[in-house]
Structure formats: C-alpha cells, structure tokens
Structure 1
C-alpha cells in the first residue's frame, strides 16, 4: 500500500503541484481513508520527502539506462531530454517552485542530489564528445558542466519563463540546442543539425 500511495501522490504532485494537492485529494483519488495514508506517513512533509527521493531514483535509473547504450554524446543528450519530458510531464503547474517555497529543506536536499548526478553525467558526456571529435578540445569541461546545470535549473523559473510564453518541451529543446551549439566542432554541428531537423520534422 505504501508504494501505491507514493505512486499516486507522485502523479498528483507532478501534475498539480506539491502545495495544491492535499492528503484528502490523494485519499479520494485512491478510494481509501486519509487514516490509511497516515499509517505509512506521519504527515504530508514525510510523504513529499519520500515522493521526491523516489522520483529522483527513478529518473536516475532511467538516465543510467540511456547512458549504458553508449550512443554518441549528442544523441545521448537528446534521449535524456526526451526521457525527462516524459517523466516531468506537467505543463500547468510549477512543482519545483512549490517545492522550493513550501518545502525548502527537501528542495535543498534534492537539488544537491540533482547536482551530483547531473554534474557527473555531464562531465562524462563532455569527455566522450571531445574524444569522438564532436565537442571542441579546448572546452573547460568543469565550467561547461556547471553552466549547463545552472541553465537547466534556471529555465524552470516560471517568473523568467512563464508557461504561456515558453511551453516546457520547446524551452528545453531550445536550451539544449543553445548548449550544444556553444561546444560542438564542425563534425558535431552536422550531427546536431540532423537532430534539429528530425525534431522539426516530427513536431
């Protein structure tokens, strides 16, 4: 039952936001009593913490699966971006903003884990791209990796990028292209243009 509660709560939190969803909402959606939820979670904060950590582990495993396929580094980033869009499917809420505002300690813990995971993955992606001649050899990879993390998190700011002007999928697409155009070689640009063309064709 605990796993079922986490699964349903994750879906509701991501779709509607961490503040917007109440324990009553989760109980009603599952057709159970609120008391049942409280037998597994002492309060909503405890549930939010479990949900965010569970979601992080799920996404991390998914990214590791993509990386294990050892596709070329540019294709790898596009596959990860596509996977992230499927996992974080919201277009109408700002779960990250609500998490940061109402559960700051959980947000800070999650952000730290996110940085560690993304930083390590990005460094390896950059090193592979350089070795394959797709990224420039002169890149300061530690700097680029940290700037990429800042950018990915920055474009989630609803005040800077309101959803009505910047649909999430298109925004991430634009940022990924922006990132890659700054680091690719001529050979890498050919590969990048292929993915951009396919994205436009499939839109």
Structure 2
C-alpha cells in the first residue's frame, strides 16, 4: 500500500483505537472491498505492524535530520524534537492503550524496535560529543541510550509517578538534565551551564 494509505490508516487507528477499528471500517473508509484489503494484509495484526513501523520511521528520520543540522552534540540534545515528543505522548492514546491490552506482542515488538533505533540516534550523539570533548568515555553508550529512552517514555506508564503533580514538560526537562549531567565531562558541564543559563535567565 502507498504512503497516503498508511498515513490515513494511522489517523484512523489513533482516533478509534487498535481494537475498535476493524478491517471492515478501513475497507469502507477507502471505498474498497474487504477482499481487496485482505489481499494486501492477511489480518489486522499485519496492518498494525506496518502502521507502527511507518510512524517509527517518521520519528527516526526527523531525529536524524536534526542530528545532521546541529553540529554541537550538547546543543543537539537541547533542541526540542516535536516528533519524538508526540511519540512519547502517544503512549497515552487510545491506540496504545488498546495495543497494550489486546495486542501486547505487537506493542512489545514495536517498543523494542523503537528502543533500538532511538538508542542508535543517541549513540551517534554520544560519539560526536566524545569527539568534541563534551562527553565521558567511561560508560556504555548503548545502555545509557536505552536508559534515557526508558526515562522519557515512562511518563504515562510509570506506577511511581503522579502525573497530576508532575507536569510532562517539567519531567522531560529533568530527565534530560539527569542524563546530561551523567554523561558530560567538566568541559561538557561548563557548556551545559551556559545553555541552561540562556534558557533560564535569572
């Protein structure tokens, strides 16, 4: 199926949920027979897999574009990624809630792929920061990338976090500062102070 088809199906799943939206609904939305749809996708699980993969590719492509544009590794980490923030917030959509409940295997596979690919982006940033003298060399970049991913993605699902008391933006900023302070050298920490001073003038 083409990109426009997948984009529309993504919107339908986000609006209606993974369980609620049926293959009949999708076929009717596109004015096609269910037989035609099943010739492309043997079942809804296969279509859900393609939908999640498509959305993940969008997020990773945008992250990589910003990596290429912003040379300074620390500045790159403080550039707000609208697509990643949307992905993190999507953990609380009806699509994700129904995926977790009715299609846990598909959800877990998607999150593992998301973790792997997001960690790759962070590893690239860490390697660049090490070359620039901003990041330490004595830690496992891949594991730290996964830790940061888990921190950012846990806002809606953590049983230890009261989201009525802690705002998402504040949580994300604190998670980023926690991560950055853990990986920076003294040179990096000096640069970090300059950036945070600009963002939070007294």
TM-score, with length taken from structure 1: 0.73
CA separation of 1:88 and 1:143: change in aligned 2, threshold 3 A: closer
RMSD across aligned positions (CA): 3.5
Paired residue secondary structure (2:118): helix
Any residues of structure 2 matched to 1:58-73 within 5 Å, and which? 58-73=58-73
Report the alpha carbon displacement of residue 115 of structure 1 after superposing the two structures with TM. Answer: 2.9
Paired residue secondary structure (1:79): coil
Any residues of structure 2 matched to 1:133-172 within 5 Å, and which? 133-161=133-161, 163-172=163-172
Separation in structure 1 between the aligned mates of residue 58 and residue 157 of structure 2, nearest angstrom: 23
1:178 has 2:178 as partner: yes
- Paired residues in the alignment total 200
* 8 Å contact kept, 2:88–2:152: no
Q: 2:111 maps to which residue?
A: 111
* 8 Å contact kept, 1:18–1:98: yes
TM-score, with length taken from structure 2: 0.73
Separation in structure 2 between the aligned mates of residue 14 and residue 192 of structure 1, nearest angstrom: 37
Report the alpha carbon displacement of residue 52 of structure 1 after superposing the two structures with TM. Answer: 0.2
CA separation of 1:91 and 1:146: change in aligned 2, threshold 3 A: closer
Report the alpha carbon displacement of residue 37 of structure 1 after superposing the two structures with TM. Answer: 5.5
Paired residue secondary structure (1:182): helix
**Shift >6 Å, 4+ stretches:** none
Q: After superposition, give the CA deviation of every residue in 1:116-135 in whole Å (9 maximum; x if it has no partner).
A: 32232222222222221222
* 8 Å contact kept, 1:91–1:167: no
Which stretch of the first structure deviates more once superposed, 166-175 or 123-132? 166-175
1:123 has 2:123 as partner: yes
Report the alpha carbon displacement of residue 47 of structure 1 after superposing the two structures with TM. Answer: 2.4
